[in-house]
Amino acid sequence: MKKALIGVAVAAVLAAGAAVFLTTGADAAPSSTFVLLDGSKKTTADLKGRVTLVNFWATSCVTCVGEMPKVIATYNKYKDRGFDTLAVAMSYDPPAYVVNYTETRKLPFQVAIDNTGSVAKAWGDVQLTPTTYVVNKKGEIVKRYVGEPDFAELHRLIEKLLAEA
């Protein structure tokens, strides 16, 4: 009963457009291989040395599409300081839609398609979009947001993480 109530509460918050902030501690990002739109691959190990925003999204997700200009602005603001963004399209998102969205919106960061759903599964069984992870330079997840993040708070976190050795 409690789980059902929690699920209803989370769904209600997400429906309202608010982000649910969940702390995951400093757990290592799960070992994953991301298949990028150009067919190349990136692994979790490749994230080390940079602060990275890993954003699980879908072209059919209204909140995802709504937050994307802020994700782009965040990337552009910090990219020259050791920050990166990796947008991971969900397995149910038609690849042609993802390619079209990426090209027409001129997404400046790398986009991966999680064809099998294995990446979403590895990253905590992501099912709700957008789900966004902040990974520090050591490759550890320091924050997870379900729903659109508070971008002012996110920017403060990014600046703090970029300042770390």
pLDDT in tens, 18-52: 444 444 456 999 999 999 999 999 999 999 999 99
Cβ neighbourhood burial of 37 (10 Å; 0-12, 13-18, 19+): middle
Task: Give the mean model confidence (pLDDT) for residues 2-27.
Answer: 42
Residue 165 pLDDT = 81
| Cβ neighbours of residue 147 closer than 8 Å, sequence gap 6 or more | 13, 14, 17, 18, 19, 20, 63, 128, 130
pLDDT in tens, 73-102: 999 999 999 999 999 999 999 999 999 999
Top-level class of domain 19-163:
alpha beta
Distance of alpha carbon 130 from the chain centroid: 7
Residue 121 pLDDT = 97
Q: Considering only residues 154 and 18, tell me which one the structure prediction assigns the higher pLDDT.
A: 154
- Domains of the chain, by residue range, sit at 19-163
Q: Is there a contact between 38 and 149 (Cβ–Cβ < 8 Å)?
A: no
Query: HSE on the CB side for 115, CA within 13 Å?
Result: 8
